[in-house]
Every structure is written in C-alpha cells, then in structure tokens.
Amino acid sequence: MYSLVVKGGIPLHGEVPISGAKNAVLPILAATLLTREPCVIRRVPNLSDVAFMGRILASIGAKVRMQGDTVTVQAGHIKGFGDYELVRKMRGSVCILGPLLGRLHEAKVSLPGGCVIGSRPIDLHLKGMKALGAHITIDGGYVCAQARRLVGTDMFLGGRSGPTVLGTANVMMAATLAEGVTVIQSAACEPEIVDLAHFLSAMGAKIAGAGSPTVTITGVRELHGAEHEVIPDRIEAATFAITAAATRGEITLRGARPDHFHAVLDKLQEAGARVEHRGGALTIKAGRSLRPVDVTTQPYAGFPTDAQAQMMVLMTQARGISILTERIFESRFMHVSELARLGADITIEGPSAVVKGGRQLSGAPVMASDLRASAALVIAGLVAQGETRVKRIYHLDRGYEQIDEKLRRLGARVQRVVEG
C-alpha cells in the first residue's frame, strides 16, 4: 500500500493533459457486452477501476485487450454472471446488469461496493429493469434478473437526490435490445450519459434525447461492433482547476471541456480566480485574493458532488466564511476531520459544512477515505506549510491517472512511498 508525501507551499504552473473520463468509460466498457462483434474504445485512462472492469468482463467470457490508451473487447460467448468477489468491490460494476439482461435475458450480479460516502442503493436500477419486464430477486448477495423478453415502456427514474446516473445508463443499455420504445423520465443529464448514448448509437442503437431529462430508446434486434473515443474527465479537470487557484498558481488544462463543468468554473471566478478559454486551451489563474463562496451540490448541470471536497480545501484559503451544502450523498464530509489535522476550521451543521477560511494549513499525516477526499487531501498538502503524508492513496489510483506524475510536471514536490 502506498502513501503520497507532499511538501507544500509552492504555486503550481504549467500545462496538464486531461485523461478520459472514468465515469464514462466504465459503462461504455460494459456496453461492449451487448454485441458479439469487437469494439474498440480509445482514450481509456490507466486506472485501477478500468483494469478491474477489464477483469470483470473477462470473467464473463469476453476477450479483453488493453494496449496503451486503447481497449478492444469482443464478447462473443459470454455467460450471465460475473465473478462475485470482483463485482462487489466496485460500484461501477453494477452497470453490467443492463447489458447482460438485454442480450441474454438473464443476469446474476453481486450487490456492488465502492467508496464509503453514504447510502447508494440500486433500487432505481432494479425499478427500471422490472419496468422492462424482468423478474428480480436478491439471493445470497446477488441480484438475479430474468426475463422471457424485454418490452419497452415509460418509466420514471427520479430519486430522493435527483436522477440516477448509473441507473439511467443501465436502463438505456438494456432497452437498446428490448421490443418497442422505452421512455425514461427524469433521466440523468450528465455528459457521461451523452457519451454512452453516442457509443450505443455507433453500435446501431436508436436513442434520442440523451443529455435531457427525457430519453427515448427504440429497441433494435441486434447491435454491432463500433469504435469510440471517451470524453475528457470533467472531475479531473475541475480538480486541477481548483488546485491552480488553491496554490496561487496558473495551470492550463489541455483537452478539457469547459462546457462540462461550468458550475465549477463559475464558482472559481466568484472566488476570485481568472478563467481564460482560448482555442483548445483552458487556463486557470489565481487572483490577487480569494473570496469565500457558498456552494450547494446538485445533479448536473449543478455543482458536482465529486468536486465538493476539493472546493472545501480552496475555501480554507479564502478569508471569511463559506458554506458548502451536500445534497447528493449524506456522508460525504469524511474529509473534514482530516482537514482539521492540517489546521482547517470547519464545522458540520446538518447537510452543510461551515468553513472559516484564511488560516495557514500545516502539514500532517492524514488518511484518505474515498476517491475525491483523497484528491482534496493532496490539494491541502500542496497548500500547507511543511510535509503532508496522505495514506491509502489506492483511492486516487481508481480515478486519477498518474496524478503524482502530473503534479510533478507542474512543479509540485510529491513522492509516492510505501507505507511503513
């Protein structure tokens, strides 16, 4: 197990390439199960979650070849269930449910795991599959789904915290091979859903409305192989943008899509950072001073929950009081106690974190609890005086491609070491 040792106090400058989106590539890889023909996916990030998904597809019977940032999958002869121990460890693996049910009319998938950031039930996934005609049971930690045939229908997939992204993806994939027309109301609008729709369309699916609250899928008899390039990771881009402002530096994001994370860029500008978009380059510069801002996480196109922890670190450097309210996950403030070790003054009041900013952070050993909290602690270490040791950075490797190397290219003093 590795730790990341960070020596802070240095403004970061330079250019960083933004990798393919983790939250887009996982369902896209799962979608390759919908056809017997080979599929080629490009701009695939080198992440542990991606490698994990490759192992899951292989356990089902697919032939998976990873070469650089290109993954080729051919699911010629597959079975309707994945390896229990593999699937249960990664929440994103639940997205094999829809493709297996769509193609084989049966699926047996273990209940998924993932980051400990609150309750994330898959009830909306199962609601969608039942609406298509599947019979669902939970037995021995498995979700067992069977259907003599899948039939398109109208369904509502809104939940307590808004639409379900993976649930929308799962139902979309199953519905591509269902009989008739499926209409998903309160569908997730994230760019990752649009990217999945583009890939499915390239495979021969008929999908309209992706990116809006109403998605319509007209089922087809079969899908064929296709090639696709994954969109850039908007959360990685947001993380580096926030890092630029927090370290009082200047970072150019190469390949980022500013239209995918407008809410973050808007809050950065409100906080005093400068955002310049020229041609294909997006540059974030620290302003003369940081101003406190209030943030509420919301479904897309609102401020993403996946950037809340990083933004909280930035607010520790702004003189005044900021309030960050979490409306997506009820337990996504686990990083607060670790930031306190560095000297941050943060109080939790219900769904909100009250940040009293303007205090100098000091380096200390901290423990990462989940993927985005890990990124936030690294940013805090870059801001703090002295040395910060971020433990359990395997979370980082799930969602950030070579983050330590990218930071070093920007001038950061970071080193990956074996935990003692």
Q: Catalytic residue at 189? A: no
> Exactly one of 39, 95, 115, 189 is catalytic; which is it?
115
Residue 26 and residue 53 in contact, taking contact as beta carbons nearer than 8 Å: yes
Q: Closest by alpha carbon to 63, among 179, 193, 225?
A: 225
**Before 301, cis peptide (omega within 30)?**
yes
Looking at the DSSP assignment, which residues form a beta bridge with residue 356? 321, 345
Q: What's at 228, amino acid-wise?
A: H
Q: Give the Cα separation of 32 and 40 in Å (integer).
A: 9
Using the structure block, give the residue that is written with the tokens 């401020």: 303
Q: Give the Cα separation of 242 and 19 in Å (integer).
A: 17
**Overall size of the chain counted in residues:** 420
Q: Give the Cα separation of 281 and 235 in Å (integer).
A: 17
* 3-class SS of residue 200: helix
For the chain, what is the total number of helices (H) and then of strands (E)?
14, 25
List residues with catalytic annotation: 115
